[in-house]
Amino acid sequence: MYLIYLLRRDLRVSDNPIFHHLQQHSKFSHILPLYVLPPNQVEVSGFLQDPGSDSPYPQARSRLGNFWRCGPHRAKFLAESIWDMKQSLKERGSDLIIRVGRMDEVVRQILRHQEYKGKVVAVWITKDWASEEVDEERMIKRVIQQEGDGKIDWKVWDGEEMLLHDNDFATSDPAQVPDIFTSFRKSFEPLRDNIRSPYKPTSTQLLPLPSEIPAQAAPFSIPASLEEFISALRKPVEDSGFGPPILKPQGASTAHPFIGGETRAHARIVHLIVSGCISSYKDTRNGLLGEDFSTKLSAYLALGCVTARQINAYMVAFEDGKDLPDFRIRFDSEMTDFSKTQGSGKGENKGTAAVRFELLWRDYMRLCMRKYGNNLFSIEGLRGQRSNRDSKNKNDSDSSQHWSDLSSPETRTSFSRFLRGETGTGLIDASMRELALTGYTSNRTRQNCASFLAKWLGIDWRLGAEWYESMLIDYDVANNWGNWAYVAGVGNDPRGRDTDTGGRKFNPVKQAWDYDPQGQYVKAWIAEFEEVPSKRARKGERGWVDVLFQAWQVNDIFQKSTDVREGEVIDKLKKLDWVNDPLVKIKYQPRSEARTF
């Protein structure tokens, strides 16, 4: 009696509802854990046996911008996470079988295999509410009905990847999810008391694999090593198609050097607690540079390498001064408790509370995706549906807003400059370059970039969301599209669009002065600024930091410079197109106390 377990964004053995269930009530003799790389989301031509041949699938590119849907940074993190899961399953007497193809086709092939005919009694998967995954589930169900003679149990399990549990919501009807986060949040206060514990640790021995494993169907083959696997995923998508490679400044180092997988996720959480980063998170979370200003757990969460409830369990152990939770996974921590960590045993602190708060935002974005479905991907976002539903809200949809698309050459040029970080607005350019070079950029700069594209440039915000999908290591359907819609003013932001009543439009120059007052972040990511001197401006005057934030001002600011070195830097900057011709010029003078440099 075989079970096929189809894994998607649940790449973990611990706190996994299916493994948990199997531990208690298994009627099966064997399990086939299967990960299928979906060719519509991940480019699979790197797996062709004959690299010169054509893939049977169209390239995995986005709808509007034609970007690779899974770019090189996430491709690597995904490969590492899959491999880590493979290792963990091997240690438990099983394995993760990797295949390329549409999931329903792969399932059909297996069900028709001689060794499997009549033996497969169940096919299980965990729920994913994104529309492509919902379609995928429908197609697999059809295959099971066609091939299984009514004898195969098809079950879609609750993925349990949220902080809160579905059964803890007042209603299971997604339509009842409040359109304002604060109203949602208030029904779960105090949050810490409303979070369930993760499941008990998964056994160190799992049911074995079936004796025969159906081969990967032609024309693809699956590499045997992690290095080859990474290369097969990355190689085809290394060229984004947007001009020559972006120059990496010499001193720039990624804020996200982390390796994918469940075991690394747990090691990261322990590091965050022991180093005190979790406790200081509330004060540092708007940081721009470095590994530890925020948790960098998003990519692990996005692939289900760890659950929000597991993160909470570690924080509770720290707050209560108890032993580390035991998830029985291979990770090299010698720690058994947090007793020597400052703040241990002293209850919830500002930092741990703020992490819980952000994880609740994540839940909220997921619930909004359930509520609004495919509207999340429409130009009117969540607002379109709402205004159709309720004619009183007609004005709310703000049909006066017209975003430009790539049909006009001017928009194509502006958009390509935005992607390459050549707009002439320093904070935006630094973030877009950091993103392209590393796959990560902070929440603060994400908000600014989204606002810049949608509100300053007036370009269709979905192009930005697609680019983020391509580039981000931590891409997550609900979080990405939900946040883009929110900032563009068509999501669940009560302040809405840029109207007379004051919609949310970030001023990226003010934001740079507020969050990067010495221009260190901007300088770190824009290679052309490497030689800009770190020199204070005279009191009451403008100086180099003003240039970092809006380089077109360089002429004005340094009319009378007599310093030879400065003169050389100025001359070089004046030769750059994006310095002479910025996409926008923003008038902003910082308050004198903001001008620390």
Ligand X SMILES: Cc1cc2nc3c(=O)[nH]c(=O)nc-3n(C[C@H](O)[C@H](O)[C@H](O)COP(=O)(O)OP(=O)(O)OC[C@H]3O[C@@H](n4cnc5c(N)ncnc54)[C@H](O)[C@@H]3O)c2cc1C
Contacts 24+ apart (CB under 8 A), 538-545: 540/592, 543/597, 544/519, 544/597, 545/517, 545/518, 545/519, 545/595, 545/597
Write down the least CB distance from residue 272 to ligand X, Å: 9
Write down the least CB distance from residue 225 to ligand X, Å: 29
563 is in an annotated binding site: no
User: What residues form DSSP beta bridges with 100?
Assistant: 37
Beta strands in 218-329 (DSSP E): none
When binding is defined by CB under 6 A, the residue of 13, 106, 302, 526 that contacts ligand X is 302
User: What residues form DSSP beta bridges with 32?
Assistant: 4
Q: Which is nearer to ligand X, 33 or 491 (CB)?
A: 491
Cα distance between residue 276 and residue 279, in whole Å: 5
Cα distance between residue 476 and residue 482, in whole Å: 10
Q: Which is nearer to ligand X, 308 or 579 (CB)?
A: 308
Should residue 431 be labelled a site residue for ligand X when binding is judged by CB under 6 A?
no
Reduced to 3 states (helix: H, G, I; strand: E, B; else coil), residue 337 is strand
For 563, half-sphere exposure in the C-beta direction (CA atoms, 13 angstrom radius) is 8
Q: Which is nearer to ligand X, 376 or 487 (CB)?
A: 487
Q: Which is nearer to ligand X, 361 or 588 (CB)?
A: 361
Binding mask 334-373 for ligand X (x = CB under 6 A): ---------------------x--xx-xx--x--------
Question: 321 exposed, middle or buried (CB, 10 Å; 0-12, 13-18, 19+)?
Answer: middle
Q: Which is nearer to ligand X, 369 or 554 (CB)?
A: 369
Should residue 468 be labelled a site residue for ligand X when binding is judged by CB under 6 A?
yes
Should residue 301 be labelled a site residue for ligand X when binding is judged by CB under 6 A?
yes
Amino acid letter, residue 246: I
**Segment contacting ligand X by CB under 6 A, of 164-172, 203-211, 220-228, 472-480:** 472-480
Full strand arrangement of the beta sheet holding 30-37: 97-100, 30-37, 2-7, 120-126, 153-157
Write down the least CB distance from residue 484 to ligand X, Å: 5
Q: Which is nearer to ligand X, 289 or 527 (CB)?
A: 289
Cα distance between residue 521 and residue 515, in whole Å: 9
Should residue 470 be labelled a site residue for ligand X when binding is judged by CB under 6 A?
no
390 is in an annotated binding site: no
Should residue 164 be labelled a site residue for ligand X when binding is judged by CB under 6 A?
no
Residue closest to 3 by CA, chosen among 106, 141, 152: 152
Q: Which is nearer to ligand X, 98 or 473 (CB)?
A: 473
Binding mask 479-518 for ligand X (x = CB under 6 A): xx--xx--x-------------------------------
Residue closest to 100 by CA, chosen among 11, 3, 215: 215
The binding site for FAD comprises 281, 294-298, 474-476
Residues that bind ligand X (CB under 6 A): 285, 294-298, 301-302, 355, 358-359, 361-362, 365, 442-443, 446-447, 450, 468, 472, 474-476, 479-480, 483-484, 487
